[in-house]
């Protein structure tokens, strides 16, 4: 097995939305610094943006300010966010959007040349090629790109992250990348729970199924502090295709209705905004309808014209083409019948909710030399594409400054050997034993535990202490089983690490759900034993830190700080 040793001033792990913008920013601000992206796929079409995008979901349309954005996001997240983080990212929306437009992204404009809003915070784009556009910018900026190199662990020396190790799924080479500063941008985690569809559609998920929580897991293993994993993301999506509903709900103004035709959000949730209620309620509401026997639930699109239906299809073709084929293949005309919706498998996504690394306003994690941006970073929900870009920019600036002041560190050979043994073990196990567990088998085992005991779709995502304790106990056995995982080839080796990483994420998640003894986000984290929100005790962040030596997960809370004045439960 070949070993490649690379030295780079800044290492960016994950060349996605946040990673590409971070690379450009470092090179523009600090032309003397070298940048390397380590990417498990190929940056031209990797991660969430692979299929394209049809809107930038976080943007300050005319009349809005960073403060009004914070108020809205705080309302949408039921009164608890890191306001410093949300403020700092919203200040950069304009900068990022203008930059990417300059690189060639078509943004829809009216006759006067103004961007076309979609709802309060979105603007419409023709973003089918968004990913190749930002990838090209990263390459043009002089970034060294290691495509098809799967990051497996950080290199940590004396508590400082001094690079990372990965393996190539193309040639099995090991890459030891030494860096002065590291930015983690690997996105969130799908596949922790049983997916919505089975068999040959099991990856027909909303979130990118190849974002499997690697960044979270590497941080957890290295003892980084994590926040708010219990705020799982359970989205309202189109039935079967799991396509985003914002395109429909915001695009043509479609309210939710139940099987009786009742606009249940407008009536039962009027006090918190009806169809504009906080996002968790827009999943919780329909779940209650289905639970109480009034499903299926739909987005009512019957009022739209056939031209609007065409526009809707065009919008999906820019982001989620399979939605349009689905309608054609099932003889569904959204202008004649309502669009059935369902809720997703629970994802861990710091850019929709706020699970991830605990960072300071500079996106520095609790580990020296490590910065986090995008879906992997915690505390700042409602990031979407533009917020991930903004975080990439902030992290780049800070990591650059850190790299100016700090040098490379000598890396003990034993550290590299240890990770080499761990990373390649599944291949070796196959060569030596043949018999063992395939990554897929462990994936199904993990998903079964999470689905049944840690609030999966089958139990309406509800959780209680007793079930979570069963989940904790069953999950605790899995790490001992890692040694039995076998991989026949490099693709399977990647899959092996994907499931191993998700086990670490799942263990942390269960501890978080056990710890928060209230229901702040109905639908996302509904506790049947603590059914109410409790601002008295729980208006704070639930954080965790796994001790790298003992493996014990220690829980703690961090205080909420209100910066923008106003009623935390009001959108304005």
Partner 1 sequence: MPVIIHADKCNGCHGSNNPPCIRMCPGDLLMKDSKTGKILMRDPAECWDCLPCVKVCPQEAIEFRLSYQLGFHTARLLPHIHDTRDFITWELIDTKGDIDKFTIRTKILPVELDEKVEGVAPVDFSI
Ligand X SMILES: Cc1cc2nc3c(=O)[nH]c(=O)nc-3n(C[C@H](O)[C@H](O)[C@H](O)COP(=O)(O)OP(=O)(O)OC[C@H]3O[C@@H](n4cnc5c(N)ncnc54)[C@H](O)[C@@H]3O)c2cc1C
- Binding-site ranges for ligand X (CB under 6 A): 13-19, 38-41, 46-49, 53-57, 150-151, 185-187, 206-208, 210-211, 214, 244, 319-320, 351, 374-376, 383-385, 388
Beta carbon nearer to partner 1, 238 or 513 = 238
Select from partner 1, ligand X, none the partner in contact with residue 313, using the beta carbon and a kind-dependent cut-off of 5 to 8 Å. Answer: partner 1
By a kind-dependent CB cut-off of 5 to 8 A, residue 186 interacts, out of ligand X, partner 1, none, with: ligand X
CB closer to ligand X out of 125 and 468:
125
Residues contacting 146, CB < 8 A, separation 6+:
6, 36, 37, 38, 39, 166, 168, 175, 177
Beta bridge partners of residue 55, listed in sequence order: 124
| Residue closest to 570 by CA, chosen among 72, 90, 66 | 72
26 touches which of partner 1, ligand X, none (CB within 5 to 8 A by kind)? Answer: none
Number of Cβ within a 10 Å radius of residue 6:
17
Q: What span, in angstroms and rounded, lies between the C-alpha atoms of 542 and 557?
A: 5
Quick one: what does residue 154 bind among ligand X, partner 1, none, with the CB cut-off 5 to 8 Å set by partner type? none
Cβ proximity to ligand X: between 424 and 538 the closer is 424
Q: What is the DSSP letter of 392?
A: H
Shortest spacing between CB 374 and ligand X, in angstroms: 3
| CA 437 from centroid of its chain's CA atoms | 28
- Chain position carrying tokens 């990348």: 177
From the CB of 88, what's the least distance to ligand X, in Å? Answer: 16
Nearer to ligand X, 374 or 379 (CB): 374
**Which residue, 127 or 346, has its beta carbon nearer to partner 1?**
127
From the CB of residue 25, how many other CB atoms can be counted at a distance below 10 Å? 25
What is the nearest approach in angstroms of partner 1 to the Cβ of residue 315?
9
Q: How far is the CB of 264 from ligand X (least distance, A)?
A: 26
Judged by beta carbon distances under 5 to 8 A according to partner kind, the member of partner 1, ligand X, none in contact with residue 561 is none
Q: Looking at beta carbons only, is 380 or 485 nearer to partner 1?
A: 485
Work out how close the CB of 131 gets to ligand X at its nearest, in angstroms, rounded to a whole number: 8
Q: What is 441-497 written as a DSSP string?
A: HHHHHHHHHHHHHTT-GGGTTEE-HHHHHHHHHHHHHHHHHGGGB--SSHHHHHHHH
* Smallest distance from ligand X to CB 58, Å: 6
Taking the least distance from each CB to partner 1, the nearer of 85 and 349 is 349
DSSP conformation letters of 496-508:
HHHHHHHHHHHHH
DSSP assignment string, 301-361: -TTS-HHHHHHHHHHHHHH-THHHHHHHHTT--TTTSPEEEEEPPPBB-TTTS--EE---T
170 binds, among ligand X, partner 1, none (CB under 5 to 8 A by kind): partner 1
In the beta sheet, which residues pair with residue 347?
233
Burial of 443 (0-12, 13-18, 19+ CB in 10 A): buried
Smaller CB distance to ligand X: residue 8 or 288? 8
Work out what residue 227 binds among ligand X, partner 1, none; the CB cut-off runs from 5 to 8 Å by kind. Answer: none
Nearest-approach distance from CB 324 to partner 1, in angstroms: 6
How far is the C-alpha of 274 from the C-alpha of 435, rounded, in Å? 55
- Spatial CA neighbour of 148 closest among 127, 170, 131, 164: 170
| Partner from ligand X, partner 1, none contacting 133, C-beta within 5 to 8 A by type | partner 1
Instruction: Taking the CA atoms of 10, 12, 13 and 15 in sequence, report the sign of the dihedral they define.
Output: negative
Q: What is the nearest approach in angstroms of ligand X to the Cβ of residue 436? A: 22
Closer residue to ligand X (CB): 18 or 399: 18
Please report how close the Cβ of residue 147 comes to partner 1 at its closest, in angstroms: 7
- Residues 169 and 495 sit within 8 Å (Cβ to Cβ): no
202 binds, among partner 1, ligand X, none (CB under 5 to 8 A by kind): partner 1
Q: How far is the CB of 400 from ligand X (least distance, A)?
A: 18
d(CA 404, CA 274): 51
- Residue 14's binding partner among ligand X, partner 1, none (Cβ under 5 to 8 angstroms by kind) is ligand X
Identify which of residues 130 and 250 has a Cβ nearer to partner 1 in the complex: 130
């Amino acid at each position: 097995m070949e070993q490649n040793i690379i030295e780079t001033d800044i290492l960016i792990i994950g060349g996605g939305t946040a990673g590409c913008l971070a690379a450009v920013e470092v090179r523009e601000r600090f032309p003397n610094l070298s940048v390397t992206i380590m990417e498990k796929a190929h940056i031209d079409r990797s991660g969430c943006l692979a299929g394209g995008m049809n809107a930038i979901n976080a943007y300050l349309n005319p009349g809005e300010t960073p403060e009004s954005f914070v108020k809205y996001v705080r309302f949408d997240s039921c009164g608890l966010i890191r306001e410093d983080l949300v403020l700092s990212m919203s200040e950069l929306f304009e900068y990022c959007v203008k930059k990417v437009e300059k690189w060639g992204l078509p943004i829809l404009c009216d006759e006067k040349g103004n961007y076309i809003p979609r709802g309060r915070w979105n603007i419409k784009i023709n973003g089918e090629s968004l990913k190749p556009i930002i990838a090209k910018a990263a390459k043009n900026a002089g970034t060294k790109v290691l495509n098809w190199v799967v990051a497996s662990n950080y290199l940590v020396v004396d508590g400082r992250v001094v690079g990372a190790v990965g393996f190539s799924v193309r040639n099995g080479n090991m890459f030891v990348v030494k860096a002065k500063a590291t930015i983690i941008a690997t996105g969130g985690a799908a596949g922790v729970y049983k997916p919505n569809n089975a068999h040959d559609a099991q990856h027909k998920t909303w979130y990118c199924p190849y974002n499997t929580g690697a960044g979270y897991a590497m941080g957890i293993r290295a003892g980084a502090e994590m926040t708010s994993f219990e705020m799982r993301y359970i989205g309202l999506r189109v039935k079967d295709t799991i396509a985003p509903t914002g395109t429909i709900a915001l695009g043509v103004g479609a309210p939710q209705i139940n099987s009786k035709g009742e606009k249940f959000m407008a009536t039962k949730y009027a006090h918190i905004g009806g169809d504009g209620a906080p996002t968790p309620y827009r999943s919780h509401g329909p779940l209650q309808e289905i639970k109480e026997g009034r499903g299926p639930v739909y987005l009512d699109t019957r009022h739209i014209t056939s031209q609007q239906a065409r526009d809707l299809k065009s919008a999906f073709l820019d982001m989620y083409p399979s939605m349009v084929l689905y309608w054609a293949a099932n003889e569904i005309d959204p202008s004649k019948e309502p669009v059935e919706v369902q809720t997703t498998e629970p994802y861990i996504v710091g850019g929709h909710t706020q699970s991830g690394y605990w960072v300071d306003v500079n996106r520095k994690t609790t580990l020296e030399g490590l910065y986090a941006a995008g879906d992997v970073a915690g505390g700042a929900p409602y990031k979407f594409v533009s917020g991930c870009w903004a975080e990439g920019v902030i992290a780049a600036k800070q990591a650059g400054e850190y790299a100016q002041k700090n040098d490379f560190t000598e890396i003990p050979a034993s550290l590299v050997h240890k990770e080499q043994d761990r990373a390649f073990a599944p291949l070796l196990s196959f060569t030596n034993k043949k018999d063992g567990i395939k990554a897929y088998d462990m994936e199904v085992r993990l998903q079964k535990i999470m689905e049944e005991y840690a609030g999966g779709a089958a139990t309406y995502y509800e959780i209680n202490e007793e079930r979570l304790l069963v989940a904790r106990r069953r999950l605790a056995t899995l790490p001992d089983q890692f040694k039995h995982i076998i991989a026949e080839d490099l693709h399977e080796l990647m899959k092996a690490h994907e499931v191993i990483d998700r086990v670490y994420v799942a263990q942390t998640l269960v501890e978080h759900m056990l710890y928060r003894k209230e229901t702040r986000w109905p639908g996302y984290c509904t506790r049947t034993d603590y059914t109410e929100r409790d601002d008295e005790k729980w208006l704070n962040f639930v954080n965790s830190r796994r001790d790298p030596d003992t493996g014990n997960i220690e829980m703690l809370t961090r205080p909420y700080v209100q910066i923008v004045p106003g009623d935390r439960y009001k959108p304005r």
